[in-house]
Amino acid sequence: MEPRNNVTEFVLLGLTQNPEIQKILFVLFLPIYILTLGGNLLIVLTVVSSHSLRSPMYFFLAFLSLMDAVYSTAISPKMIIDLLYEKKTISFRACMIQLFIAHLFGGAEVFLLMVMAYDRYVAICKPLYYLIIMRRNTCVLLLVVAWVGVVVLFFVPCIFMYVRPVCTFSIDKTITVFFTIVTPMLNPLIYTLRNKEMKNAMRQLWRRKDDPDKH
């Protein structure tokens, strides 16, 4: 029998080969990831626990924050930890899991943003019919369409993208860092922290935690 040449792991090139810059990037990326994860999970907890945030907008916002948390966690921890090690490797299975989660949640987020835009259009242009059009069943159906759409429209192009010839794409690394670490951190700031209802719900959640006997 001929020997089988199975790929068991990949050697990661990393963002830079300079150890000093790697330490700087570690100090920079770790707080950003912690802020991203904590902020998005706080939004999910606030929407789930608050009775005043039951509109479709907050329903979609909670799912958006959950997607950002999972999407960022799929790649960021491994990348941040590798900044401390000279040898950077990842197993074949772990690499495939990362690719699947990143493309599934990243692509679904694009469709979810389209759904949120439609939700705002209905709320502004047809306010009298808003609750009739955006029923809970409709919201769930739109979420299902988002997940199915990403499988159909994102995974096939990504397969072709990753089978291209192996070269060094330095700009690819920069873009990847931006939408893997920075974008998930900005979403809760943009969509939530400037929302008065969300901030009031967070304050009530904090008071409930400090004095549970009053609730």
Over residues 4-31, the pLDDT tens digits come to 667 788 888 777 788 888 889 899 999 9
CA–CA distance, 212 with 204 (Å, rounded to integer): 11
- Judged against a pLDDT cut of 60, whether residue 161 lies above it is answered with no
- Position 30 scores a pLDDT of 93
> Tens digits of per-residue pLDDT, 117-158?
888 888 888 888 887 888 878 888 887 877 776 666 666 556
Assess if residue 190 is contained within a domain: yes
> Tens digits of per-residue pLDDT, 57-75?
888 889 889 988 998 898 8
- Judged against a pLDDT cut of 80, whether residue 170 lies above it is answered with no
- CATH assignment of the domain containing 58: 1.20.1070.10
- Judged against a pLDDT cut of 90, whether residue 108 lies above it is answered with no
- Position 1 scores a pLDDT of 46
Mean pLDDT of the chain: 78
Backbone torsions φ then ψ of 206, nearest 5 degrees = -70, -40
Kindly report the pTM of this predicted structure: 0.72
CA–CA distance, 20 with 24 (Å, rounded to integer): 6
Assess if residue 55 is contained within a domain: yes
* Per-residue pLDDT band at 51 (split at 50, 70, 90): confident
Assess if residue 72 is contained within a domain: yes
Residue at 74: amino acid letter: A
First-to-last alpha carbon distance for the chain, in angstroms, is 71
Burial per residue of 82-95, b for 16 or more beta-carbon CB atoms within 10 angstroms, e otherwise: bbeeeebebeeeeb
Assess if residue 206 is contained within a domain: yes
Residue at 191: amino acid letter: Y
CA angle 176, 179, 182 (to 5 degrees): 115
Specify the range with the lowest mean pLDDT, choosing from 16-25, 86-95, 111-120, 160-169. 160-169
Assess if residue 140 is contained within a domain: no
CA–CA distance, 65 with 185 (Å, rounded to integer): 10
CA–CA distance, 197 with 192 (Å, rounded to integer): 9
| Greatest extent of the chain over all pairs of C-alpha atoms, in Å | 74
Place of tokens 């047809």: 126
> Tens digits of per-residue pLDDT, 172-214?
566 666 667 777 777 667 666 667 777 788 778 777 766 655 5
- Domain of 204 in residue numbering reads as 13-106+170-214
- Position 27 scores a pLDDT of 92
Q: Could you count the other beta carbons within 10 Å of the beta carbon of residue 53?
A: 20
Backbone torsions φ then ψ of 91, nearest 5 degrees = -70, 160
Helix (H, G, I), strand (E, B) or coil at 10: strand
Assess if residue 138 is contained within a domain: no
Assess if residue 160 is contained within a domain: no
Alpha carbon separation from 146 to 78, 96, 194, 197 (Å, rounded) = 27, 22, 26, 26
Instruction: Give me the number of domains the chain comprises.
Output: 1
Assess if residue 154 is contained within a domain: no
